[in-house]
C-alpha cells in the first residue's frame, strides 16, 4: 500500500487486528472495542474581520467503556475525520495501558493557527466549545478535552471560561478540560508531561540488559546519542530532560525550517533560546545544516524521537533508518509497512500509545485535583517535613554527625505538587512498560512491543466490557 493513500485510522485498525489475534476474546467483543462509538462532524461560521469563515471541526468519542472520554484538541490544516478517529482510538488504548480510567476521544479544528490573530483564535475556540456543549460532547463526567498539536494552556483556558459561562454553578466545572494554566486550576508539571514521560519510557526500556544487548547497546541512557524530529512542546521537553537528567547527547534536530547536526552534541536549551531570538534553528553555532529536514531521520544514532506529526517514517525511507531505538513521541509516526521493515532490521520501536502517554497521565492527575478541589501536597507536605526533621535530628544526636544546611534541607523537605506529579508519572511509565514487556516475553503469539501494547490495552478494555455484563 502506498504511503500517499495510507489511511491513519486503517493503520490503527491493522495494528489492532494483528494484536487481537493474540488474545482469546470473542470476535463480537473485539469488534466493539475497535469501533468508534460517536463521531461529531461540524461546520460553523466565525466572523474574522469583515468576512465570515466557515470552520470545519470534529470531536470523536471512540470508546465509552469508561467515562468520561478523554483526548486532546488539535489545530492544523491536516485535520480530517480519519485522523481524528485514529487519534481517538489510540487514546482509548493509551488510557488502558497506563491505567487511566477514561475512554478515548479526540478533537480537531481544521485551521492553521499561525494564520490567525489571537482574538480570532479565541473566537474560533469559544465557538467550537459552544458546539460541543450543545451536543453534550464536553463535561467533567462526559468528555474532557486537553491540548494537542497547535493548542496549549491558553486555548484550554478559553474552553473552561466558555463552559463555565454556560454551566454556571456546576461544582466540578473546572474538570471539563485539562492542560489549563496553573493559576486557572491547572497542575504543575502538565506542560512538560508528555516529554518527561517519553524520557521515563526510554530510560526504562534501556534498563534491561538482554534487550539492549540484542541492539548492541549497554544499559542506561548516559552518553547515548539521540535525534529529535520536531521541537515543539513534546520534542523540546524530551530533548532537554533526556540531556539534563539522562546524560544523553542530542546530535540532530529537525524542525519546520530545516534540520541541523553536530556529532559532538547540541545544547538544546541554548538552541531553544537561539530559535526564539532568530525564528529558526538554522545557523545555530557549531551545527551543520542538513540538505533536507527529512535527512535527520536517517542519521546514525542510538535513539530517534519522531515528535511531530504522523507517517514520517514510511516504506519509502524505512530502509535508510539507522537508529537502534525509535521512540514514537508523536502519534502514528511509523506506518505499518515501515514498521515491518524496521523490525526486520532489528530496530526496537517503542509505540506511541505507550511512550507518549505522559500527557494523559498528568491530565488525569489534574482532573483528580479539580474534582477534589485541592492541590496535591497541601495536606501532607508540612507534616512530612516535620517528620523528616525529627528523624534527621534523632540520627544526628545519636551519631554526633553534622550536616550542611543544603544537605539538611534536601533530607527534610516535604513534597510539592510538582514532585508528586513527577513521581506519579514515573511510576506509571515504569509499571506500564514492564506490563507490556511481560506480555512480549510470555505470549508466544506476540512478536514486538506495539503488538504487546495493543494486547495489553485490548484485554483491559475487554475486561471492562465483560464486567459490565455486556459480553458474558
In terms of C-beta density within 10 A (0-12 exposed, 13-18 middle, 19 or more buried), how is residue 236 classed? buried
Residue 388 lies inside a defined structural domain of this protein = no
The answer to whether the beta carbons of residues 48 and 120 sit under 8 Å apart is yes
> Where among 300, 335, 355 does a domain terminate?
355
Q: How many domains does the chain have?
A: 2
The DSSP letter of residue 3 is: G
For residue range 349-384, list pLDDT tens digits in order: 999 999 999 999 999 999 999 999 999 888 888 988
Active site residues: 106
254 and 298, same domain (yes or no): yes
The answer to whether 255 and 230 have CB atoms below 8 angstroms apart is yes
pLDDT of residue 472: 57
| Same-domain pairing of 198 and 263 | yes
State the average pLDDT for the chain.
Answer: 93
pLDDT > 90? residue 466:
no
| pLDDT, tens digit, 9 for 90 and up, residues 411-459 | 888 889 999 999 999 999 999 999 999 999 999 999 999 999 999 999 9
Q: Does 212 share its domain with 152?
A: no
- Are residues 178 and 198 both part of a single domain? no
State which of 355, 378, 412 marks the end of a domain. 355
- Chain segment 23-60, per-residue pLDDT in tens: 999 999 999 999 999 999 999 999 999 999 999 999 99
Residue indicated by cell numbers 525511507: 317
Report the C-alpha gap between 221 and 81 in whole angstroms.
39
The confidence score (pLDDT) of residue 378 equals: 87
Residue 7, pLDDT score: 83
Q: Judge contact between 249 and 242, C-beta under 8 A.
A: no
Query: What pLDDT sits at residue 470?
Result: 67
Q: Would 120 be classed as within a structural domain? A: yes
H-helix or E-strand containing 52? strand 51-61
Q: Which residue among 331, 355, 379 closes a domain?
A: 355
At residue 397, does pLDDT exceed 80? yes
Segment 104-114 shows an average pLDDT of: 96
Q: Given this model, what pLDDT does residue 312 score?
A: 86
Residues 84 and 128 in one domain: yes
Whether 11 shows a pLDDT value over 90: the answer reads no
**Residue 274 sits in the same domain as residue 336:** yes
User: pLDDT for 288-337, tens place per residue?
Assistant: 999 998 999 999 999 999 998 778 899 889 999 999 999 999 988 998 88
Same domain membership, residue 241 and residue 129: no
Residue 437 forms part of a structural domain: no
Residues 216 and 324: beta-carbon distance below 8 Å: yes
Q: What is the per-residue pLDDT for 3?
A: 44
| 451 occurs within a structural domain | no
Instruction: Identify the helix (H) or strand (E) that includes residue 118.
Output: helix 118-134
Task: Tell me the pLDDT tens digit for each residue of 122-180.
Answer: 999 999 999 999 999 999 999 999 999 899 999 999 999 999 999 999 999 999 999 99
> Do 205 and 309 share a domain, yes or no?
yes
How far are the Cα atoms of 126, 213, 301, 324, 461 from residue 345, in angstroms, in the given order?
A: 48, 15, 15, 9, 32
pLDDT grade for 90, boundaries at 50, 70 and 90: very high
Task: Give CA–CA dist 277/273, Å, rounded.
Answer: 6
Mention every residue, 6+ apart, whose C-beta is less than 8 A from residue 220.
206, 207
pTM equals 0.91
- CATH number, domain with residue 256: 3.40.50.720
How many Cβ atoms are within 10 Å of 167's Cβ, its own excluded?
A: 16
pLDDT score of 6:
64
The CATH number of the domain where 61 resides is what?
A: 3.40.50.10860
User: With 90 as the cut, is the pLDDT of residue 228 above it?
Assistant: yes
Same domain as 181, residue 232? no
Residues 164 and 46 in one domain: yes
- Same domain flag for 127 and 265: no
The verdict on residue 378 lying in a domain is no
Share of the chain above pLDDT 90, in %: 83
User: Would residue 8 count as lying in a domain?
Assistant: no
Judge whether 197 lies within some domain. Answer: yes
Residues with Cβ within 8 Å of 402's Cβ and at least 6 positions away in sequence, in order, are 396
Same domain, 163 and 243: no
Structural domain including 245 reads 193-355
Q: Are strands 69-75 and 143-147 parallel, antiparallel or unpaired?
A: parallel
Residue 3 lies in a domain: no
- Percent pLDDT > 70 in the chain is 98
| pLDDT of 26 | 92
Cis before 68 (ω within 30): yes
Query: Is residue 2 over pLDDT 50?
Result: no
Mind giving me the DSSP string for 175-216? GG--S--GGGT--TTSTTHHHHHHHHHHHHHTT-HHHHHHHT
Amino acid at each position: 500500500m502506498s504511503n500517499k493513500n495510507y489511511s491513519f485510522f486503517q493503520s490503527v485498525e491493522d495494528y489492532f487486528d494483528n494484536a487481537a489475534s493474540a488474545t482469546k476474546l470473542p470476535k463480537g467483543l473485539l469488534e466493539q472495542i475497535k469501533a468508534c462509538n460517536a463521531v461529531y462532524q461540524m461546520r460553523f461560521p466565525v466572523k474574522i474581520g469583515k468576512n465570515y469563515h466557515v470552520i470545519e471541526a470534529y470531536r470523536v468519542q471512540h470508546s465509552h467503556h469508561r467515562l468520561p472520554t478523554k483526548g486532546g484538541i488539535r489545530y492544523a490544516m491536516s485535520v480530517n475525520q480519519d485522523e481524528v478517529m485514529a487519534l481517538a482510538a489510540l487514546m482509548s488504548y493509551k488510557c488502558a495501558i497506563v491505567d487511566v480510567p477514561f475512554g478515548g476521544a479526540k478533537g480537531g479544528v481544521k485551521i492553521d493557527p499561525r494564520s490567525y490573530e489571537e482574538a480570532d483564535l479565541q473566537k474560533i475556540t469559544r465557538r467550537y466549545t459552544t458546539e460541543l456543549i450543545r451536543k453534550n460532547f464536553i463535561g467533567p463526567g462526559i468528555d474532557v478535552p486537553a491540548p494537542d498539536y497547535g493548542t496549549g494552556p491558553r486555548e484550554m483556558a478559553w474552553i473552561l471560561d466558555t463552559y463555565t459561562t454556560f454551566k454556571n454553578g456546576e461544582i466540578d466545572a473546572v474538570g471539563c478540560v485539562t492542560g489549563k494554566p496553573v493559576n486557572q486550576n491547572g497542575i504543575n508539571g502538565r506542560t512538560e508531561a508528555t516529554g518527561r514521560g517519553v524520557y521515563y519510557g526510554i530510560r526504562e526500556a534501556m534498563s534491561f540488559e538482554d534487550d539492549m544487548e540484542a541492539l548492541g547497546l549497554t544499559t542506561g541512557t548516559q552518553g547515548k546519542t539521540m535525534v529529535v524530529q520536531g521541537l515543539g512542546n513534546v520534542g523540546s521537553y524530551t530533548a532537554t530532560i533526556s540531556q539534563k537528567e539522562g546524560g544523553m547527547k542530542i546530535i540532530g534536530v529537525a524542525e519546520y525550517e530545516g534540520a541541523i547536526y553536530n556529532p559532538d552534541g547540541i545544547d538544546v536549551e541554548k538552541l531553544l533560546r537561539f530559535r526564539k531570538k532568530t525564528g529558526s534553528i538554522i545557523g545555530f553555532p557549531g551545527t551543520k545544516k542538513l540538505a533536507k529536514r527529512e535527512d535527520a531521520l536517517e542519521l546514525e544514532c542510538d535513539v530517534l524521537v519522531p515528535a511531530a506529526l504522523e507517517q514520517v517514517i514510511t516504506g519509502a525511507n524505512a530502509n535508510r533508518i539507522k537508529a537502534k531505538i525509535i521512540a514514537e513521541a508523536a502519534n502514528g509516526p511509523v506506518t505499518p509497512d515501515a514498521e515491518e521493515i524496521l523490525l526486520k532490521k532489528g530496530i526496537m520501536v517503542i509505540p506511541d500509545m505507550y511512550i507518549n502517554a505522559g500527557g494523559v497521565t498528568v491530565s488525569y492527575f489534574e482532573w483528580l485535583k479539580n474534582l477534589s478541589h485541592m492541590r496535591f501536597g497541601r495536606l501532607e507536605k508540612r507534616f512530612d517535613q516535620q517528620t523528616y526533621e525529627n528523624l534527621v535530628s534523632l540520627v544526628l544526636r545519636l551519631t554526633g554527625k553534622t550536616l550542611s544546611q543544603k544537605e539538611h534541607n534536601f533530607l527534610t523537605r516535604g513534597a510539592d505538587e510538582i514532585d508528586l506529579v513527577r513521581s506519579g508519572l514515573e511510576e506509571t511509565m515504569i509499571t506500564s512498560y514492564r506490563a507490556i514487556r511481560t506480555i512480549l516475553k510470555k505470549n508466544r503469539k506476540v512478536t514486538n512491543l506495539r503488538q504487546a501494547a495493543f494486547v495489553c490495552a485490548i484485554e483491559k478494555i475487554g475486561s471492562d466490557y465483560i464486567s459490565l455484563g455486556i459480553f458474558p
